[in-house]
Amino acid sequence: MINKYLAIALLLAGPVHASDPGAARQSELVRLVRQDCGSCHGMQLTGGLGLPLTAEALRDKPFDGLVATVVYGRPGTAMPPWKTILSEPEAEWIVRQLMQGFPTEVR
């Protein structure tokens, strides 16, 4: 019976990817996005110097392209590469969170 409830809870928690960072790192990444990304994209990620990073604004953007932008930046723009402090799986996690509506804390 407990296994049934555990299975339901895991399904409701949302998708977990094998390469997702652990909970402590996820908390760090949320802070990084809110503070560092927010300094250009707005503290609510609704836009500023950089474009909005809301789920609605990213809806039609290709996932892989967004990950590449996070990792490698956008040459000729103010968007820097984050590859020195983020792994590609961490960038993927951030993009997934942004596309779902970025949390104020780890879900």
8 inside domain: no
16 inside domain: no
Residue 90 exposed, middle or buried by CB count within 10 Å (0-12, 13-18, 19+): buried
Q: What pLDDT is recorded for position 2?
A: 53
9 inside domain: no
* CATH number, residue 36: 1.10.760.10
60 inside domain: yes
The structure's pTM equals: 0.80
Q: What pLDDT is recorded for position 7?
A: 40
1 inside domain: no
Read off the pLDDT of residues 26-80 as tens digits, 9 standing for 90 and up.
999 999 999 999 999 999 999 999 999 999 999 999 999 999 999 999 999 999 9
Q: How far apart are the first and last CA of the chain?
A: 25
What is the total count of domains within the chain? 1
Q: What pLDDT is recorded for position 17?
A: 63
